[in-house]
Every structure is written in structure tokens, then in C-alpha cells.
Chain A
Amino acid sequence: MVTRPIYLDYQSTTPCDPRVLKTMLPYFTEEFGNPHSRSHAYGWRAEEAVETARAHVAKIIHADPREVIFTSGATESNNLALKGVAHFYKTKKDHIITCATEHKCVLDSCRHLEQEGFKITYLPVRSNGIIDLNHLRDALTDRTVLVSIMAVNNEIGVIQPLAEIGKICREHGVFFHTDAAQAIGKIPIDVEAMNIDLLSISGHKLYGPKGIGALYVRRKPRVRLTALITGGGQERGMRSGTLSTPLCVGFGEACSLAQAEMGQEHTRLCALRDRFYNIVRSELEEVYLNGDFEQRIPGNLNISFAHVEGEGLMMGVKDLAVSSGSACTSASLEPSYVLRALGVEEEMAHTSLRIGFGRFTTEAEVDAAAEKIIKEVKRLREMSPLWEMSRKGVDLKSIEWAAH
């Protein structure tokens, strides 16, 4: 049997927890009813299962189940929140505030809205990846309808000050949407305490199935949306289409498990994360953490290994499933826009790895991963002209590089 790489990419996706899968299975076969069928027991049973799942999803964010709309995932939820709110209120307000480090689906929705004539403010972040609340206050106008700031960044794991942002938005009568795909199940989220009006969740980021997510839409004060998908009027008219009962059930179970285990899992992941980071730093010089260390989920490290190119490093640690912040594997040779927004220099942005720990990560895996990375960084540094120059005290910035 071929051994699989050690999985350290929990921000990209998570495996479906076997306990989750078990709850889903009956709904593929004997409990196959359409949850929207009102005329017979097949439908009623499916509906009951969907509503139980909705209650689990609502509970993890301290919402009312009626405020939870099932979608295909966080990308759809983000599209619906941004475009739905913008379109519904467009005759009164036409300004949205978001942030430079948001997920592509938020930024791209904003680009589309810009083309339709909406005005978008992209807030910068400080060097730790967190927004400056004064920038937010300054950006608000009487035309602002929505502020969309992510809860936890997908590349660097930093947590934005949600309660503070929510308070500012509420004071100004502006809706607050947060993309919480990377936050749910990792940190406590309370839509009431944090004054969150819309919130996006993804099933597969918290050990649930892929292909399902949710959008929380506040009822009091009521947030209204123009639907993206119309039809039978399911999900309070905000998202038509027959719900997938097994996906809803799995998603609900995943939320329930995540909520029950969050406290101890947080402690366990902090220990694993610190173990990994301390081993690496004890063996390697010039290792830099991207993003704030304290305001960060425990399952993420984004590290620049100076003078070692990220894609080259990933090739060397092929026994590890990690990702490079540099996005160099795609046709684009641009380094990560998130790291650039933090003010990380392009050279350093090219040397980053995102290492994600999660529910099934073990101490032995962490030790093996640290050892492999240390060995490979040392090997590649011996091969790196930049490392050689920096060891000789050459200021790399003093050289006139020929950009190509």
C-alpha cells in the first residue's frame, strides 16, 4: 500500500468525520423523501431531519433556526449576502466596505457589484493582518449598506475583532456580514453578542460534507435580500431548490460535534501548533510568522522560510500535504495577495508555507512534518544564492535585480 502524505492543509478542507457520515447515510437510501413534500410521511421525516440540522447550525452561532438558510457552501453564502443585500437596498444605499485580505469569492462579488455601479471600499490591514477600526469608522458614509469583514483569514488564520466591528456597524445602522467559513467550530461565535447580521458557513471546513453551507440572515432587525436563485421559494424565498437532506443532516451533525468538542480541541491544537513551531524555530534561523500570533486560530501557521522558495520547498516535502502561500502552482506567478496586503515583501511572500492542523492531526505527524521541513529548508538554503549572499552580509536590496 502506498502511504499517503501527512495531511496538513486543514484550511483548504477537512475530512468528513466518520460520525458525521454515519448520520447521513440513511438519508441517501430509506429516508429519501423530499423535505419540501407536505403530503406524506416520507417528506415529513426528511423535513424533521433538516430542521434538526438547522437547529444545530443555528446553535453554534447562537441564532434562531429560522435565521439559517442552507446554501451550497460559503462561496454561495458570500455571493448571496453581498449581492443579495446590495441589490435589495440599491435605491437607498450603494456603498459596501470590505477588506483587502478577504477570500476571493467576497472580493470577486465586490468586483461584480462595482461593475454594476456600487462603490466598494477595500480596507487595508495592519502588518499583523488585522484591520484598523479607525479605518472602518472613517470609511462609513450615509450611503454604506453593508460591511463585510471575514472572521478568520484562510491563509494566515488571524481573527478579526468581530464584536468591535459589529458594535460600530450597529451604531451606524449598517449591516455587518462576516465570512466565518474558517471560524465556525474553531472559535466561539455569537451573532447576538457580536451584532452580526449575516454570516457565511461552510460544511466541509468543519468536518462536514462538501457541497453544503449556510447563510445566517438576521430577523430582528430584519435583513432583506434579493435571491440569487429563484424558483419554489424554499429557504424563506432566499434560496430556492430542493434541499439535500443527507448534506443538511451531516452539516448539522458536524456543527453539533464541533460545538461540543471546541474547548478541548482548541487546547489540543494549540499544543500541537506550539510544538511544531518551537521545533522548527529551534533548528532554523530566519523563520518568520505571517499574521498575528495571538489573534489567530490554533490550527494555522503561515511561515516564511527566508531565501527558500515556497514551491521548491513543497516539492521537497512531498510527503506532506501543505500549501504555499505563493500560489505559484497556478499559471499566476504572483505571490499571495493576502501576504502582500500585510506588507510582506514579495521576496518573503514567495517563501511562505501554510501549515494547517486539525482534528485528525497527531503529535507523531507534527514531529515528522517538522523534521522533514527542517531538513529540506537546510538543503535548499545550501543551494540558495540568496542564503549565501545574506550569510556574507550582502544587502539583497542593494542589488539591481533584473525583473523578468
Chain B
Amino acid sequence: MAYSEKVIDHYENPRNVGALDSTDEAVGTGLVGAPACGDVMKLQIKVNNQGVIEDAKFKTFGCGSAIASSSLVTEWIKGKTLDEANTIKNTEIAQHLSLPPVKLHCSMLAEDAIRAAIQDYKQKHRAA
């Protein structure tokens, strides 16, 4: 399969690979997908007092498109408020990376990962 240039770029030079301390109150962690399906994404956000995402990290088990989708969203959500990040749609990710139809699930997973990380952060703060 021919990958788009943007997918190749993110795959070869992934942005924001790594981990944040998931026990930190300021950190929200989203873990989506399943090993049996061949894709797992872990997306972490660090939110400051103003409710702005000041850092984001990811790790992904999956194909090049899955890695590129998660790398891309870490770039996109940095500097955004939680509400702004929540509006990112899988269609925008897919369009930006020129994903073929069989790879659309990668962009959906990346959207799910953002939602899951935000939800985790909010849950921590509701409990606190």
C-alpha cells in the first residue's frame, strides 16, 4: 500500500512520543483499541490551571497510519483548551493524512484517544 507523504513523515519522525506520569493530577490518560485488533493507542495530556493542554505524549501499537494519526493529534491538541480539543473530528485527521478507506479506523481511534484522555482528566478532578 502506498502511504501518503504526511503519514510517512509522522511515522518516520513521530512527534511527542513518550509518557507522562499518569498519577499526576494534571495528567489525563486515554488508552484505546485492543491488541487483538492490531491497534492500541495511549494518549496523555497535561492540563494547566487555565484548562489548556500544555503537553501531550503518545505511544501506539499499530500500523503506520495509526502511528501517524496519534502523532498528528498530539500536535493538534497542544495549546488547545479541553473543549477545543474535544471538537477534533476523525474526518479532519483522515483528510489531513489522506488515509485510504481501510485505514479510517486509525483516525477514529485517535479521536477516541483524545476523548478518553480528556474524560480521564475530568474524572480525576470531579473526584478531587
Q: Which residues of A contact B (CB under 8 A)?
A: 307-309, 311-312, 315-316, 326, 328-331, 333, 335, 345-347, 350, 382-388, 396, 399, 401-404
Contacts and interface: CB of A to CB of B under 8 A. Distances in A.
Interface string B105-120: 1001100100000000
B67 A312 contact: yes
A396 B39 CA distance: 14
Given A328-B38, A383-B67, A396-B35, A309 B109 contact: no
B59 A383 contact: yes
With most chain B CB atoms within 10 A of its CB, the pick from A315, A329, A330, A384 is A315
Interface of B: 1, 3, 11, 14, 17, 19, 31-42, 59-64, 66-67, 102, 105, 108-109, 112
B109 A388 contact: no
A333 B35 contact: no
B63 A404 contact: no
Given A309-B38, A383-B14, A384-B59, A402 B64 contact: no
B72 to A, nearest CB: 14
A404 B116 CA distance: 15
Give 4 nearest A-B pairs by CB, closest first: A401-B34, A347-B35, A346-B36, A385-B42
B29 to A, nearest CB: 10
Contacts of B33: 401-402, 404
A308, A335, A345, A347 interface centre (most CB from chain B within 10 Å): A347
A307 to B, nearest CB: 6
B58 to A, nearest CB: 8
A402 B40 CA distance: 10
Contact of B3 (A315, A331, A399): A315
A402 B11 CA distance: 24
Interface of A is mostly: loop
Most buried by A among B19, B42, B60, B63: B63
B38 A326 contact: yes
21 contacts: A308-B61, A309-B66, A311-B64, A312-B61, A312-B64, A315-B64, A316-B11, A333-B37, A333-B105, A346-B36, A347-B35, A383-B59, A384-B60, A385-B31, A385-B41, A385-B59, A385-B61, A396-B35, A403-B34, A404-B32, A404-B37
A384 B64 CA distance: 12
A383 B63 contact: no
A339 to B, nearest CB: 12
B66 to A, nearest CB: 7
Contact of B63 (A328, A345, A346, A384): A328
Contact of B39 (A309, A329, A399): A309
Contacts of A401: 33-37, 40
Contact of B102 (A307, A331, A402): A331
Tell me which of A382, A383, A399 has the highest count of chain B C-beta atoms within 10 A of its own C-beta. Answer: A383
B56 to A, nearest CB: 14
Contacts of A387: 61
A319 to B, nearest CB: 13
B49 to A, nearest CB: 28
Contacts of B112: 404
B61 A307 contact: yes
B62 A402 contact: no
A264 to B, nearest CB: 38
Contacts of B42: 385, 388
A286 to B, nearest CB: 13
B60 A383 contact: yes
B37 A403 contact: yes
A331 to B, nearest CB: 5
Nearest to A396: B35
Contacts of A333: 37-38, 102, 105
Contact of B17 (A307, A309, A383, A404): A383
B66 A402 contact: no
A108 to B, nearest CB: 22
A330 B39 CA distance: 16
A151 B82 CA distance: 59
Nearest to B8: A315
Nearest to B7: A315
A375 to B, nearest CB: 13
B104 to A, nearest CB: 11
A307 B40 CA distance: 10
